[in-house]
């Protein structure tokens, strides 16, 4: 049978890493089994739902490469269908009108709190007569629809990640509210647990994969499935993503939206690679650097851990750097070029651009690192304290730089390359007995203002082509 999975995000915020990882697990399982992956936008909370969040969520999923089948479904388009199902539950006696007012509910909660009991509705209107209902309505009282939860019932399911799960009806907080308040004989707007069951059934969803915070909802939903005589999907509840303190990753942990990761310079393929390992693992992987297709080939829901997954920046950074290393040069260049354009940096040629991209590729962790790492090739770098000290540390330092200028002029070199650079270095070390080590360090300090940086000869070629090698050496004498 075709496996059909879905992501059902509420558009009440930017695409969060937790939602993105749920999408990923659903997507991977669907791909592994040649199934389908759908999106349903759960936008029935009119106050908090915003269309720009829907756009952001879809854009983010697209950017991550998590493509979906068919047009996303909007839950708000289906309200009348949800209401019809509530009517059906009323008709078969599985649900009823409850007129308990907000203040009566608060009173009940206070009482329960005082006696140390968890909040639970007392189902006081479960058995109202039609006369009593009419009376409440004629008094202008509003009502919600409640679904009858049998206290004695035990709900069980086989969770693909957690194994056998059991819930007691008495632990579900009393009869379940299916709709918001409405006056008269109206049915108010349907709530999540009802809508999700009706929609998952309508979409023929075979596997529901979502966060563990939905476990008690699953217990409630199973009761609704049964009452409506719907076929149950297979449920899986993924572990939470935790921060370094072991608490649920939240907005307080600074970066949580996919946009922010994108802006910081993470690659979509690195982020999906890392997110897969947030909870899932494979035995003896040949490599941890995997594409979406490679992961989906070996992916199994049962290989997801039950325990929470700690977010680890170091690992994410390492995975990102590996994906950058493996990236095709022109693809990487296209990313980097945007930063250069933003900075207003102009380069001498597109060949030069590719050479510089190649030079910094292996030392980049984030795409954004391209700014700092390529800056010295466009703009004369500042001499740092370390560089200044080195320049004054031995007389051979400035001497060697003078010789470089001398030989560049003598041979009339306007474009340095590997060969003429080596020739100059040889001449200086042989004719003037300057140690190669000192010469190279001096040149590095001249170019980068410090003692670190990428391959020196390749850098020299690039500085020379951009006509800043001589000014960089000359500044050491000012």
Residues that bind ligand GLU (CB under 6 A): 8-10, 42, 196, 210, 214
Nearest of 290, 277, 293 to residue 65 by alpha carbon:
293
CA 63 to chain centre: 10
CB of 235 vs ligand GLU, minimal distance in Å? 10
**CA distance linking residue 317 with residue 271, whole number of Å:** 9
- As measured in angstroms, the least distance from the Cβ of 312 to ligand GLU is 24
Q: Which is nearer to ligand GLU, 10 or 272 (by Cβ)?
A: 10
> Least distance in Å: CB of 36 to ligand GLU?
16
CB 190 to ligand GLU: min, Å: 13
**Distance in Å, CB of 52 to ligand GLU, minimum:** 17
Choose between 196 and 271: whose C-beta lies nearer to ligand GLU. 196
Query: By C-beta, is 25 or 403 nearer to ligand GLU?
Result: 25
**What's the rounded Cα separation, in Å, for the pair 348 and 473?**
20
Q: How far is the CB of 223 from ligand GLU (least distance, A)?
A: 15
Residues 6 or more apart whose CB falls under 8 angstroms from that of 244 comprise 310, 311
Shorter beta-carbon distance to ligand GLU: residue 133 or 234: 234
Q: What are the structure tokens assigned to 293, written together?
A: 């297709």
DSSP one-letter string for 112-162: HHHTTPPP----TTTT--HHHHHHHHHTT--BEEEE---TT-EEEEEETTT
- 335-365 burial code (b ≥16 CB/10 A, e <16): bbbebbeeeebebeeeeebebbbebbbeebe
Q: Which of 210, 335, 318 is nearest to 273 (CA)?
A: 318
Measure the CA–CA gap between 37 and 7, rounded to whole angstroms: 8
- Rounded least distance, CB 229 to ligand GLU, Å: 20
Q: How far is the CB of 191 from ligand GLU (least distance, A)?
A: 11
Give the nearer residue to ligand GLU in terms of CB position, either 22 or 464: 22
- By DSSP bridging, strand 36-41 and strand 207-211 are unpaired
Return the number of the residue (97 or 210) whose C-beta is nearest ligand GLU. Answer: 210
Least Å distance, CB 390 to ligand GLU, is 57
Q: Which is nearer to ligand GLU, 8 or 275 (CB)?
A: 8
Q: How many CB atoms lie within 10 A of CB 255?
A: 16
Please choose, from the candidates 473, 415, 30, 397, the residue with its C-alpha nearest in 3D space to the C-alpha of residue 236. Answer: 30
User: Closest distance between ligand GLU and the C-beta of residue 225, in Å?
Assistant: 13
Give, in order, the Cα–Cα distances in Å from 47 to each of 7, 241, 353: 21, 27, 49
Burial of residue 295 (number of CB atoms within 10 Å: 0-12, 13-18, 19+): buried
How many angstroms separate the CA atoms of 266 and 311, rounded? Answer: 15
In angstroms, give the least distance from the CB of 214 to ligand GLU.
6
CA 405, 406, 408, 409 dihedral sign is: positive
Q: For residue 407, which of 377, 438, 428 has the smallest C-alpha distance?
A: 428
How far apart are alpha carbons 387 and 212 in whole angstroms?
Answer: 54
Nearer to ligand GLU, 82 or 441 (CB): 82
Distance CA 134, CA 213 (A): 39
**Residue 77 to residues 156, 184, 199, 274, 356, Cα–Cα distance (Å):** 32, 24, 11, 35, 52
Closest distance of CB 12 from ligand GLU, Å? 8
The whole-angstrom separation of Cα 302 and Cα 212 is: 15
Interatomic CA distance for residues 389 and 215, integer angstroms: 63
């Amino acid at each position: 049978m075709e496996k059909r999975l879905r992501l059902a995000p509420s558009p009440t915020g930017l695409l969060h890493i937790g939602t993105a990882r749920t999408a990923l697990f659903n997507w991977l399982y669907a791909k592994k089994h040649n199934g389908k992956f759908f999106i349903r936008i759960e936008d029935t909370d009119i106050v908090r739902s915003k269309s720009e969040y829907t756009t952001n969520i879809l854009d983010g999923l697209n950017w991550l490469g998590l493509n979906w089948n068919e047009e996303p479904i909007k839950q708000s388009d289906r309200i009348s269908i949800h209401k019809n199902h509530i009517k059906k539950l009323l008709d078969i006696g599985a649900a009823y009108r409850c007129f308990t007012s907000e203040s009566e509910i608060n009173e009940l909660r206070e009482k329960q709190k005082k006696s140390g009991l968890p909040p639970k509705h007392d189902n006081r209107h479960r058995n109202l007569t039609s006369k009593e209902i009419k009376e409440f309505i004629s008094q202008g009282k509003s009502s919600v629809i409640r679904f009858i939860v049998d206290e004695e019932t035990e709900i069980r399911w086989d969770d693909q990640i957690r194994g056998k799960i059991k819930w007691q009806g008495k632990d579900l907080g009393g009869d379940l509210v299916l709709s918001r308040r409405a006056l008269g004989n109206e049915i108010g707007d349907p709530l999540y647990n009802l809508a999700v069951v009706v929609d998952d059934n309508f979409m023929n969803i075979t596997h529901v994969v979502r966060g563990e915070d939905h476990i008690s909802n699953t217990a409630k939903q199973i009761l609704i499935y049964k009452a409506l005589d719907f076929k149950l999907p297979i449920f899986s509840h993924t572990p939470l993503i935790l921060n370094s303190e072991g608490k649920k990753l939240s907005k307080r942990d600074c970066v949580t939206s996919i946009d922010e990761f994108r802006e910081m310079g993470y690659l979509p393929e690195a982020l999906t690679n890392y997110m897969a390992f947030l909870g899932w693992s494979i035995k003896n992987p040949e490599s941890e650097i995997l594409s979406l297709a490679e992961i989906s080939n070996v992916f199994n829901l049962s290989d997801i851990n039950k325990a929470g997954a700690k977010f680890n920046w170091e690992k994410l950074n390492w995975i990102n750097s590996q994906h950058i290393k493996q990236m095709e040069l022109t693809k990487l260049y296209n990313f980097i070029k945007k930063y250069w354009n933003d900075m207003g940096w102009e380069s001498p040629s597109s060949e030069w651009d590719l050479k510089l991209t190649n030079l910094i590729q292996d030392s980049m962790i984030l795409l954004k690192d391209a700014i700092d790492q390529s800056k010295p090739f466009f703009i004369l770098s500042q001499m740092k304290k370390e560089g200044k000290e080195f320049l004054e540390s031995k007389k051979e330092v400035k001497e060697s730089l003078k010789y470089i200028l001398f030989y560049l002029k003598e041979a009339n070199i306007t474009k340095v390359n590997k060969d003429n650079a080596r020739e100059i270095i040889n001449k200086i070390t042989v004719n003037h007995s300057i140690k190669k080590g000192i010469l190279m360090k001096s040149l590095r300090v001249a170019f980068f203002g410090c003692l670190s940086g990428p391959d020196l000869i390749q850098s020299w070629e690039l500085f020379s082509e951009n006509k800043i090698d001589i000014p960089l050496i000359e500044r050491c004498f000012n």
